[in-house]
Amino acid sequence: MSSAGELPCYTLIHVPSDAELPSETQLREKFEKGGDKERTEALKKLIYMVLNGEKTSQTMLMYVIRFCLPSNDHTLKKTLLIFWECVPKTDSNGKLLHEMILVCDAYRKDLQHPNEFVRGSTLRFLCKLREPELLEPLMPAIRTCLEHRHSYVRRNAVCAIFTIYKNFEFLIPDAPELVTEYLETEQDASCKRNAFMMLLHVDQARALDYLSGCIDQVGSFGDILQLVIVELIYKVCHNNPNECARFIRCVYNLLQSQSPAVRYEAAGTLVTLTNAPAAVKAAASAYIDLIVKESDNNVKLIVLDRLVQLRNTSSNEKVLQGLVMDILRVLTSPGLEVRKKTLNLALDLVSSRNVEDMVMFLKKEINKTATESNDENGKYRQALVKTLHTATIKFPDVASSIIPVLMEFLSDSNETAASYVNEFVREAVHKLPNLKTAILASLREGIPSIQSPNIFMSALWILATYCDAEGSLEVLRLIKQSLGDLPLVDTELAEQDQPKQEEIEQKKVPSGPKVTADGTYATQTALSSTVVSKKNEKPPLRRFLLNGEFFLGASLATILAKLAQQFTELNGVGSERSNRFRAECMLILASIIHLAKSGLISHQVNEDDLDRMGAVIKIIAQGIPGLDEQYGDACKKSLELMLGAKSISRLDAADKLTTSGSARSKDFVEIDKTINFTQLLAKNNQQGENLYDSSLSQALGTAPKDTKFDFSSSKLGKVIQLAGFSDPIYAEAYVNVNQYDIVLDVLIVNQTSDTLQNVSLELATVGDLKLVDKPTPVTLAPNDFSNIKATVKVASTENGVIFSTISYDVRGSTSDRNCVYLQDIKIDIMDYIVPGNITDIEFRQMWSDFEWENKVNVMTPIRDLREFLNHLSTSTNMKVLTGDAAIEGECGFLAANLCAHSIFGEDALANVSVEKALPMDDSSPIVGHIRIRAKSQGMCLTLGDKLSSAMRSRRDGQPIAAPSA
């Protein structure tokens, strides 16, 4: 059902685009002279013609009645049911065709047919009829089918009675009593379900009476009947909350059902009807059990979302905190998305009472992942490290037990996980000064085993920044140990001159066959091994430099400058110890520079790195006071400011989530908010919105929107004029975007004084759009109008264009078919893009993984950098990832990262790098560029076009007026 105003569609038939439709003469010949198989094929062709809007004569209907209705072939009978469903049954005046009387008589005979398939399929067909004149003669036969021996016939008879009573109550006014009596004696589960479903919708009082009589046996019913019982209890309690106490025990019992679907619906109903802690705990336990036992990852994610919704209420959060360890059982699932969502949920719920148990559990999970090295397992390790990091900052008491576990990841081959550990160490030293000594000691022990050059230098930088003046000497010893013997070039050349050491060789020396004591032959083998001393591995920093990582040398220069400044402050300027310390620092840097210029390394060194090392040597030798302070205390203060700003931005993000309702909703009440008294509310508003009705309206796309009225978001704002006022046919379209499909509601108006026949809307799409069905042709009287609807499926996030024409015939005219070309309809990708939220590390990883890039030059009349960034974010639905602390102030330059997701699972990243052409002039234009990266080319190009148009328009969509000179 595409919209609320359309008749329901029960059957979808695919018409091949290359299908050749025969003429009426050919069809008549096949009906008259062909067998059952040929008649079935001809009937299918006739159905295609009817669906395409082809006009067929009344004689064709008689041929079908004469030659197809009497047949007993089941395939032909089933095809006939589809034919009678789609064929017009009334004439132009709305009166029933006389031929349909013959059809009605044939189906009365089929309702008395001895074959249960024929009876059941006929009853299913009667559910789709909307003509009471055809149904009235069949009512006695439908009643008789309730007593048939086969359950297939009985359950379809109940469905037919239900549909007829709902649409034409006068045909069977005693249907509720009839079905109630039938329900008391019926034993088949599917038949009982259909009967109970009918009572649920037409007579809830009788359904409640039946449920009250068998409430103790509900656990033994089939799952299909239990689902209907859950729906009945919800609807009754929703309309009359006083009934909750009567049926709440039944819902509790259904939590133990064998069917996962019943347990899921029962848990959702239970927490909707009551907020009692016992009910919330029972429902949450049922959800957790479903997640653990269900194998489908999509089902796991859906049930996890229900758990997250439970956590949104502050009263439920206290109950769920005791189930954290049960929630962590979900980590046994193989899906990465399920694991990440579970870790986030557990981290939000964990408290000081169970944080130690959670840490022990996560330690075991980390040990499990150590044996596997696939990509998904590496990402899972990253998530575990990130969770432990957050738990340590949140609960400092457990930091002492977590630190040794995290330090093991410094030597991990997964660089992202190791970088998380570095972030943890940096933040922990800043926020937990009482553990500073223990953390730095663990870091010193773990540095020699690090495999990645970037991680090694980051860890060494943290150690040098936070060590005290007395520890500077130990850090210098660690650096010298990581470098090996100095000078580097001389020792390397000496090693190359030595003869190469041989590896251990093992030789098998077979001897001849030997005779054992029992007379059998055996072969004796002697193992000869030559033991040689194995070549020692190079120290890590030396190995990195020999591999051409000379940026480490530039970073090491900064570290040595810090250490020299700290050590000089402790021992005094010009003392022998401080001079010796500075001399060793200069020797290390001079050795690295000599190695870079010696030609031993195949990689070419960057001149910037050489300049940095040379400048630091001069600073260490001469001691420039201003720069010494910058390398020392000023650098540390800047780092602490950054970490503090990060914590504040994290809290702000949490507050925004709370106020938007997507995170925990605290019991805050706004000033002057209306107070609702339950006793004074209308009955239909006491329990909120009906979940079954709201979910159905959301699925159909008819759910009302609670947004403030805005012309751009109303229907009038989405109307596109397709034809001109002087065209014979005027057309305009309302474009309704509903997630993965687009519904075009086209209004066509006949502006001529002629009757237009076969008015057809022809559609063609460009892009990743697919037309679902072909619109049915209509006939327009003079100055008449009509609505034509078409559905287009969307498969990816890229711009799409729908081309359309209207073709028609003029009644009484002998001219060719006329045509009106319509305006193109452009589909806006903003309907499919939502703001994304990722960390800086994830952004850098995705930026390197995405292969498509689009660079857009900035040309905008906006003069303020911050206003320009906010305008881009609002126009493109992209979230600014860079914190406010990093982009505040006026410096004439701005760089920020943005991210967005699409409903198709695609990600898009953007990097904005802009500056004022004249920094001192407020009216100077903004120059720079925006780089967009995405996994697909279509999204990358489409988002670039959207950014280009957004730069030239205001937030209300109107062009920006260029400022006057």
Residue 529 pLDDT greater than 50, yes or no: no
Higher-pLDDT residue of 370, 154: 154
Contact yes or no for 145/111 (Cβ under 8 A): yes
Lowest mean pLDDT among 7-21, 186-200, 378-392: 7-21
| Band of residue 126 on the pLDDT scale cut at 50, 70, 90 | confident
Nearest partner of 413 among 372, 364, 461, 443, judged by Cα: 372
Please compute the mean of the pLDDT values over residues 118-135 and round it to a whole number.
Answer: 86
For residue 669, pLDDT beyond 80: no
CA distance 701 to 738: 6
Instruction: Give the residue, 739 or 258, on which the prediction is more confident.
Output: 258
Among the listed ranges 277-286, 557-566, 872-881, which one has the minimum average pLDDT value?
557-566
**What confidence category does residue 517 fall into, taking pLDDT thresholds of 50, 70 and 90?**
low
DSSP H stretches of helix in 87-222? 99-110, 116-126, 132-135, 139-145, 151-167, 175-185, 189-202, 204-213
The DSSP string of 307-366 is: HHHHHTBHHHHHHHHTTHHHHGGGGGSS-HHHHHHHHHHHHHH--TTTHHHHHHHHHHHH
CATH number of this structure's domain 714-827, picked from the four choices 3.40.50.2300, 1.10.10.10, 2.60.40.1480, 2.60.120.10: 2.60.40.1480
Three-state DSSP at 111 gives: coil
pLDDT at 503: 44
Q: SS3 of 908, please?
A: strand
Tell me the pLDDT band of 657, cut-offs 50, 70 and 90: very low
Return the DSSP state at 408.
G
CA distances to 426, 432, 501 from 423, in Å: 5, 14, 42
Residues 6+ apart with CB under 8 A from 37: none
What's the rounded mean pLDDT across residues 693-699? 58
Instruction: Find the angle CA(51)-CA(54)-CA(60) to the nearest 5 degrees.
Output: 95
- Choose the weakest-confidence range: 122-126, 244-248, 612-616: 244-248
**How confident is the prediction for the chain on average, in pLDDT?**
77
> In the chain, what are the domain boundaries?
714-827, 831-952
Task: Tell me the one-letter amino acid at 937.
Answer: Q
Please state which of the ranges 805-809, 877-881, 901-905 shows the lowest mean pLDDT: 901-905
CB 175 within 8 A of CB 157: no
Q: Where are the alpha helices (H) located in 505-634, listed in sequence order?
A: 540-546, 551-571, 576-598, 607-622, 625-629
In the structure encoding, which two tokens stand for residue 259, read together?
Answer: 């069917």
- pLDDT for 730 equals 92
First-last CA distance in the chain: 58
Cα-based distances in Å from 376 to 23, 339, 381, 385, 849: 59, 11, 9, 14, 15
Q: What tokens does 81 get?
A: 């049911």
Q: What tokens does 937 get?
A: 């080319």
Residue in this structure with the two tokens 């802690």, named with its chain if needed: 277
Q: Is residue 827 classed as helix, strand or coil in its secondary structure?
A: strand
Residue 89 has pLDDT above 50, yes or no: yes
Long-range contacts (CB closer than 8 Å, 24 or more residues apart) made by 290-293: 290/260, 290/263, 290/264, 291/330, 291/333, 291/338, 292/329, 292/330, 292/332, 292/333, 293/260
pLDDT tens per residue, range 921-955:
778 888 888 999 988 787 788 888 888 888 776 54
Above 60 in pLDDT, residue 865? yes
Q: Is the pLDDT of residue 630 over 70?
A: no
Mean pLDDT in residue range 370-390: 75
Q: How confident is the model at residue 776, as a pLDDT?
A: 78
Distance CA 453, CA 421 (A): 15
Q: What is the pLDDT of residue 206?
A: 85
Nearest to 868 by CA among 914, 901, 920: 914
What pLDDT is attached to residue 957?
A: 45
Closest residue by Cα to residue 906 from 951, 854, 945, 852? 852
Answer yes or no: is pLDDT of 719 > 70: yes
HSE (CB half, 13 Å, CA atoms) of 318?
A: 7
| pLDDT for res 519 | 55
CB 557 within 8 A of CB 613: yes
How confident is the model at residue 513, as a pLDDT?
56
Question: Residue 718 contacts by C-beta under 8 Å, 6 or more apart in sequence?
Answer: 734, 735, 736
pLDDT on residue 530 = 43
What's the one-letter identity of residue 623? G
Alpha carbon distance 902, 737 (integer Å): 14
Q: Is the dihedral of CA 567, 571, 576, 579 positive or negative?
A: positive
Task: Give pLDDT tens digits for 578-615.
Answer: 888 888 888 888 888 888 888 777 777 778 888 888 88
Give the pLDDT band of residue 703 (cuts 50, 70, 90).
low
CA dihedral (628, 629, 633, 638) in degrees, to 10, reads -110
Nearest to 855 by CA among 926, 906, 912, 785: 912
- pLDDT class for 300, splitting at 50, 70, 90? confident
Q: What is the pTM of this model?
A: 0.66
Least confident of 8-17, 741-750, 752-761: 8-17
Q: What pLDDT does residue 886 have?
A: 72
In the predicted model, what is the mean pLDDT of residues 29-55?
82
Query: How many Å apart are CA 485 and CA 588, to the nearest integer?
Result: 10
Q: Among all chains, which residue has been given the structure tokens 């850098």?
A: 844
Residues present in the chain in total: 965
The string of pLDDT tens digits covering residues 775-788 is 878 888 888 888 88
- Taking the CA atoms of 166, 171, 177 and 181 in sequence, report the sign of the dihedral they define: negative
Give the span between the Cα atoms of 261 and 303, in whole angstroms: 11
Q: Which residue has the higher pLDDT, 429 or 896?
A: 896
State yes or no: pLDDT of 531 exceeds 80. no
The one-character DSSP state at 615 is H
Give the distance, in angstroms, between the CA of residue 804 and the centroid of all CA atoms in the same chain: 33
Segment 812-852, tens digit of pLDDT: 666 677 888 998 888 777 777 888 888 787 888 888 888 88
Band of pLDDT at residue 663, cut at 50, 70 and 90: very low
Q: What is the pLDDT of residue 648?
A: 58
pLDDT for 664 equals 46
Higher pLDDT, 813 or 459: 459
Residue with tokens 């066509």: 748
* Domain 831-952 in CATH 3.40.50.300: no
Other Cβ atoms closer than 10 A to 510: 9
Q: How far apart are CA 24 and CA 64, in angstroms?
A: 12
What residues form DSSP beta bridges with 720? 733
Higher pLDDT, 467 or 511: 467
Strands 741-750 and 719-721 turn out to be unpaired
Distance separating alpha carbons of residues 754 and 758, to the nearest angstrom: 13
Beta-carbon count within 10 A of 556 CB: 27
Are 496 and 580 spatial neighbours (Cβ–Cβ below 8 Å)?
Answer: no
